[in-house]
Amino acid sequence: MKLSTRSRYALRVLVELAKHYGMGLIPLGEITKAQNLSREYVENILRKLAQSGVVELRRGPNGGARFVPDPASVTVWEILHQVEDFDLVPCEDHPEGSPRCPRYGECSARCFWAGLGKVVKAYLVSKTIADIAKEVNKNGSSWLFSDNI
């Protein structure tokens, strides 16, 4: 499993907003500068997250973005599912009506992949955006934001 650039950047943007939670709208320029991301990419991610109610996004001279719910109530798992079609183990999780792996019934490794998927999902569900923001504030960085994962 590899997190896409979109997922990693979405988490970076949300952590930046979480660090300013309760302070009103944060200008997009401030977010893009702090995270060294392009404005277009940040806007794209924020539009997607605004549709699901995780962020408020306003355009214009007094615009910006803010985290709507408490970042401690939003899990990494939720965000990954909001920004893309995220499957931990494609042979286990597939959209309704899509074909399953032809070896699904006799795959000798399927139970391993299913078990791994459960462990990874449990971890992603257990971590909130606030948890990551606290780690970043404490350590100045996070393994999650490395482009080498």
Tens of pLDDT, residue by residue over 7-31, are 999 999 999 999 999 999 999 999 9
Domain ranges in the chain?
Answer: 5-87+128-143
Least confident of 56-60, 103-107, 131-135: 103-107
Instruction: Give the sign of the dihedral formed by CA 116, CA 122, CA 128, CA 131.
Output: negative
pLDDT in tens, 22-56: 999 999 999 999 999 999 999 999 999 999 999 99
CB 39 within 8 A of CB 32: yes
Residue 147 pLDDT > 50, yes or no?
no
CB 91 within 8 A of CB 107: yes
How distant, in Å, are the alpha carbons of 42, 49, 122, 129 from that of 126? 25, 20, 6, 10
The pTM (predicted TM-score) of the whole model is: 0.82
Three-state secondary-structure class, residue 57: strand
Specify the amino acid at residue 49.
L
The whole-angstrom distance between residue 56's C-alpha and the CA centroid of its chain comes to 16
CB 79 within 8 A of CB 69: no
CA R_g for the chain: 17
pLDDT at 94: 57
pLDDT at 1: 63
Residues 6 or more apart whose CB falls under 8 angstroms from that of 30 comprise: 64
Least confident of 46-60, 66-80, 110-124: 110-124
Note the CATH number of domain 5-87+128-143. 1.10.10.10
pLDDT band at 98 (very low <50, low <70, confident <90, very high): low
